[in-house]
Amino acid sequence: MPKRWILLSIPLVLLGLELLTRLVVSATGKTAELNAFEGEPLNLTAYRLKFLDAKGQPFDGLPDHGQLAAKRSPVMGYRLVGNQQNSAWKINDQGFRSDQPINLDKPKDEVRVFILGGSAAFGQLSTNNQSTIAGQLETRLNQQVAAQKASPNKFRPDTLPYFADELEKALKLPPRIREARYRVVNAAVPGYASGNELAQLAFEILPYQPDAIVLMNGYADLLVPSAQEGADMPGTDAMLESAPRHLMAGLGNGIRNFFDQFYLVKGFQYWVLRPQASFHQMIPPAFDTSVQDHLTADSKELERRTDRYRQNLQQVARLTSAAKIPLFVGLQPEVSIRSAKPAGREKEILEQLGSQYPEQIKSGYTKLQGSIEQVKKGSPQLSTLNLAEIANGTQGEVFQDAIHLTDTANRAIANRLFDTITPKLHVQPKPYAGGDVPPS
Q: What is the pLDDT of residues 264-305, one digit of tens each?
A: 666 666 666 565 555 678 888 877 778 988 999 999 999 999
Residue 262: per-residue pLDDT = 59
CATH code of the domain in which 95 resides: 3.40.50.1110
Q: Is residue 47 part of a domain?
A: no
Does residue 183 share a domain with residue 100? yes
Does residue 299 share a domain with residue 151? yes
Does residue 330 share a domain with residue 210? yes
- Beta pairing partners, 214: 115, 328
Residue 356: per-residue pLDDT = 93
Considering only 23-32, 253-262, 328-337, which range has the smallest mean pLDDT?
Answer: 253-262
Mean pLDDT, the chain, as a whole number? 86
* Nearest partner of 360 among 304, 291, 313, judged by Cα: 291
Q: How many domains does the chain have?
A: 2
Residue 24: per-residue pLDDT = 66
**CA 296 – CA 223 distance, rounded (Å):** 8
- The one-letter amino acid code at 362 reads K
**CA 98 – CA 90 distance, rounded (Å):** 6
Q: Taking residues 33-54, what's their average pLDDT?
A: 79
**CA 228 – CA 305 distance, rounded (Å):** 9
Does residue 175 share a domain with residue 117? yes
Does residue 247 share a domain with residue 153? no
Give the sheet arrangement for strand 68-73, strand by strand: 49-52, 68-73, 77-80
Does residue 293 share a domain with residue 243? no
Q: Is residue 49 part of a domain?
A: no
What is the pTM assigned to this prediction?
Answer: 0.85
Does residue 273 share a domain with residue 146? no
Alpha helices, DSSP H, located in 289-423: 299-322, 346-353, 357-377, 387-392, 407-421
Residue 113: per-residue pLDDT = 98
- Which comes out higher in pLDDT, residue 259 or 412? 412
Residue 171: per-residue pLDDT = 73
Number of Cβ atoms within 10 Å of the Cβ of 185: 22
User: Are 214 and 113 spatial neighbours (Cβ–Cβ below 8 Å)?
Assistant: yes
Q: Taking residues 309-322, what's their average pLDDT?
A: 98
Does residue 372 share a domain with residue 258? no
Residue 363: per-residue pLDDT = 97
Does residue 271 share a domain with residue 301? no
Q: Which domain holds residue 262?
A: 1-42+235-278
Residue 254: per-residue pLDDT = 55
Does residue 343 share a domain with residue 199? yes
Q: Is residue 36 part of a domain?
A: yes
